[in-house]
Structure 1
């Protein structure tokens, strides 16, 4: 195999109570990428559509992740990369992670799969760090591996794929404004009270238990964020109204997707998800801000060959 075409999925990180340690993979939103072997050594980004992104490897998340990967193996050939962006940068649904996870998955396939999943996650994190300024895997791991992923630790990377309840469906409303991850992190306090931390990790434990047991009421009770949301929601116009509308129309919970500005809701079943999507849309249409809205089941596969 000398060429591969990929679907590189979007993702939702944090899921309210799991800041930097949990994320899930979406199924209906994603980029496309084409990677081909070349006789010339190294990495060359030859085409980018859908976004104004740099072609220089060191300035592009896919280039950084790809370089980290080929520097770890001895080969006498290289790769060309085409990136076709469908996920807008700064959307909060893992635009950079889609590129970083897609490129390492694709190159690994063309190499004959010499690298483990854990190694691929670490290579992806190298690219993600360029975009976010930090090494975290709550977007790249689910984008790469699919499903719901809990990141237990980073030294070394240690992650667990969590069981996904069969009726779980995500709704994402993306206001077409950009909130940079660096700006979203800057509003967070450096320290939080012990009482707040206890509440948060209790919610995270409840969320994991709810996923494993398909206890939708427990999932709903646990989808609360007392750490980041109170500070970040001021960066997202009409956040409180959209969240309340989602909950009133049957969502299990709602919150900020990643660093924002996207607002997500988790729902039980497609019928409820579509009702919640319509209600969220209605709540936002009164603003002067254009937006996209997506309804997606959980993608258990991650990056896919198409």
Structure 2
């Protein structure tokens, strides 16, 4: 099968018929073999009934419904699990992502050899104050911290080689950083394509200001897990050792002063408490790293590595 089009949705009953008709037209015009996976993330409107009606008229549609709202990451991860197309296209259900971009994204994967292609909504129709400006700041920080040079990391319109979606896990709010997750999994051919952005036609956005705080915290989590998930002692042990030996040097200096300088009151100096605190914190960090190593070595996926070729 050429394509799996994955659409996570939450309360999008009005936009679904138009979106599916648009996708079907693009598939027919390009003679693709395809499936459309609609993942209902616990909608409380009539979205699921609309999905069932659409399925009745097109057997290529597959529907998955969560019992409650788990979030976009959960919907994408479940869709990745069941997708069978050689190329997987993800897009939002609100009609702001254009299905007309699918052929271009598909060619970049199949003809140009990219592992992942992310859309770049260069011209946006969202509010500048609530979305555009914060999005630019967020993307600049993400580029600098991750090394993945994309202008629009969180664009819902993306294309993936099948091997990518079968090799990564998306959870929490990590959908914002799928390109970073893919890079750390070893898929380094990551491209970008300028895509058109549509004004929202129905309903209202489902995301608030909290997404920026959560996004920053998730980026830190991803950077830590990617670099130190299998070797926590390299971080905690190094920091702990540095703090402990700093405190030890301070303690040594104070002990020398106490022994050889008359009237020197060691415990009345702030440096004494600083050195003591450094040794205590250093010991705690070192123990945390040691415990992290024990947990990591007991993990079921401690020796899980992605093999690209084998003879």
TM-score by length of 2: 0.25
Q: Which has the higher strand share?
A: 1
Relative contact order (C-alpha < 8 Å, sep 6+): which is higher? 1
Report which of the two structures shows the higher radius of gyration computed on alpha carbons.
2
